[in-house]
Amino acid sequence: MSRPVVIIDYDSGNLRSVQKALESVGAPAVLTRDAGLIREAGAVVLPGQGAFRDCVTKLQNFGLFDLVIDKIREDVPFLGICVGYQLLFEESEEHGRTEGFGIFKGKVVRFPHDMTLSGERLKVPHMGWNSLKIVKEVDVLKDVREGDHVYFVHSYYPVPEEEGITATTTTHGLTFASSVARGNLYACQFHPEKSQRVGISILKAFWEKARKAI
């Protein structure tokens, strides 16, 4: 293996859980914030947890913000998880306007406070298991079935402005893009490392794609 699969360590997200889940499907993923190693990576995983602005600040403080953008533009296999998905968009309204990577047009917004289902107010954050509607055929989703459930924890979600990038949608009061895909990039609002069979199938398919690239 000449080029590593790296999980970017910037003190945000369930980093070790993601690493263990990838290892379970055979991916020898390296947890690192070393810019040189990331620059040489054949595939990149960007988890994320917490506030969008905090994640941006940490990436900038570690000198990794622009480097991640460069790796995405190289079109190496890339997996973004939770805030690592949201960061792909132009901006987030969380705690005031914060700019993201700008890979996709669109912004990250908060679920409304007044969402209801059958007369009962829906909780925010959106936390727990919810189903996927597949709207685009993607190799990383080849073993995911319509209606499969995955695990979410979030109060904000991206609103893509570009057609054709949404891979799945999910409904929690409103229907939102729960994952996107373009080229070698796949990113999801849910946590595959917490999503049991479905999540493992996604990570396995991602590793199969990454293995060809490295």
Q: Which of 55, 94, 188, 193 is catalytic?
A: 193
The answer, yes or no, to whether residue 197 has pLDDT greater than 70, is yes
What the block records as the tokens of 201 is 């199938």
d(CA 164, CA 154): 24
Q: Is 82 a catalytic residue?
A: yes
Please name each of the domains of the chain with its CATH number: 5-213 (3.40.50.880)
pLDDT at residue number 35: 97
Higher pLDDT, 212 or 104: 104
In the chain, the percentage of residues whose pLDDT exceeds 70 is 100
Q: Which of 126, 154, 172, 191 is catalytic?
A: 191
pTM of this prediction? 0.96
pLDDT tens-digit readout, 126-165: 999 999 999 999 999 999 999 999 999 999 999 999 999 9
Q: Is 193 a catalytic residue?
A: yes
Q: Which of 55, 82, 94, 172 is catalytic?
A: 82
The answer, yes or no, to whether residue 25 has pLDDT greater than 90, is yes
